[in-house]
Structure 1
């Protein structure tokens, strides 16, 4: 049993990309972090080692976000290891892309299972267990506003995430728990680069008024703010995209 710390966070999808940056940024603020992973334990352990090397506390725990038993075990692990749960940063999600006319239903269902059902399960557990003074942060996408072709099924799943998050903020009245959604724009992660040529990436970056892609650290900074000092931000969707939408 590790000695109880001031605050404890669960970061889903914490093995890489935005999730890893969020885990490391929260740890920088002195938060003990449970780094959740779905399939890549090695990368999750790398995140843990990086946090520990910087003087923080972290542990890794795996499981399917759409499996309620696995996620209940994740929350138990956080409580058993660090004493409770104060922050949820639910970054885990999948992003298969195809035009609506072409996407098969199996892929569509897989997107909704991970992104919608997974968010529901994490949000339900968080609503029951996050301590007063805590923060629940789900992740959407600026594509709900940019409305780019091929993003329809993915954006639809994230629209559902936003709706659930905004309702949950109202349902937790009186609990001193904030509930928000961070909605990144195009961000330089392996998930974003997959299947895109260098020319496409450069074009997307050029569309932003800041003339670059976002970085995982950009998103992590906003997440850490609403997880910590940003207590008056509640029931909001934070479009974190450098002005892209």
Structure 2
């Protein structure tokens, strides 16, 4: 059985699952009956994570929290161990972790480069690795990428550059995990209307980003969540792909 027909009692791990797109996914998957493992990064997100947990549980669903810096591979392993110990093996693993840096190449420090590589690249690779190790057959692995992978622009070299390998990891993993029926995909939104986006951008840049997509607007997380849910259920036949969901912001 390759297709998951519903989310009832499925075990779903969501990194960055306490806020923004991750928080919305945690809430929606829980509403559909899944058991949710909500990862959050550090103390600054703890209150949001706890509030989300209480909301999910008050509606009769099951969830658990895990705090950890996923640039440390031991924490990725511990995340999936926690999921297995709490609910059993994982069915769906969704990685929304990412960090933006908008800066000229000439001004990037070695420390900034290393940090962007760890957050956007290294953690994504080992998330895919450990997701498969702790996953049921016919599971789904979905990584959040960026539509900047198909943009011809400056200033995002470390963000787009360190997200770019996700496409290759996705293709390789989808082939390697095929024997177990596990699909592996990436979703590449346009600039999303969340607090994650605005610290890097001035008013002129925000206006430009809006002008490049349908209805002169940024990507809404409410338009990305259904795509991720689709990949988890009816879209199971999509495998090894990067889906550009951005209202026409960029295209290959």
Tell me the TM-score normalised to structure 2 length.
0.90
1:184 maps to which of 160, 182, 189: 189
The residue that corresponds to 2:10 in the other structure is: 7
**In the alignment, which residue of structure 2 is the partner of 1:98?**
103
Deviation of 1:14 (Å): 1.0
Out of 30, 33, 36, the residue aligned to residue 30 of structure 1 is 33
Helix, strand or coil at the partner of 1:34:
strand
Give yes or no for contact 1:9–1:85 (8 Å, CA) kept in 2.
yes
SS state of the match for residue 14, structure 2? strand
Equivalent position to 1:230, from 221, 235, 249: 235
1:172 maps to which residue?
177
Q: How many residues align?
A: 241
Deviations 1:198-217 (A, max 9, x none): 44323321221332111111
1:143 aligns with 2:159: no
- Supply the RMSD in Å over aligned alpha carbons: 1.5
Kindly report which structure 2 residues correspond to 1:65-80, keeping only aligned pairs within 5 A, or say none. 65-80=70-85
Partner SS state of residue 190, structure 1: coil
Q: Gaps spanning 5+ residues in structure 1: where?
A: none
Q: What corresponds to 1:162 in structure 2?
A: 167
What is the distance in 2 between the residues matched to 1:29 and 1:221?
12
Among candidates 16, 19, 24, match of residue 21 of structure 1: 24
Secondary structure of the 2:214 match is: coil
Following TM superposition, by how much is the alpha carbon of 1:54 offset from its aligned partner in structure 2, in angstroms? 3.8
**TM-score calculated relative to the size of structure 1:** 0.93
Conserved? CA contact 2:101–2:200, under 8 Å: no
Q: CA deviation at 1:136?
A: 0.3
Report if aligned partners of 2:137, 2:180 keep a CA contact under 8 Å in 1.
Answer: yes
**Residue among 122, 125, 128 paired with 2:127:** 122
Runs of 4+ in 1 over 6 A off after TM superposition: none
Q: Which runs of 5+ in 2 are unaligned?
A: 1-7
Task: Please tell me whether the aligned partners of residues 36 and 61 of structure 1 are also in contact (alpha carbons under 8 angstroms).
Answer: yes
8 Å CA contact retained: 1:214, 1:242: yes
Q: State the distance in 2 between where 1:30 and 1:23 align.
A: 11
The separation in 2 between residues aligned to 1:50 and 1:220, in whole angstroms, is: 19
Native 8 Å contact 1:136 1:177 kept in 2: yes
Q: Distance in 2 between matches of 1:107 and 1:121?
A: 20
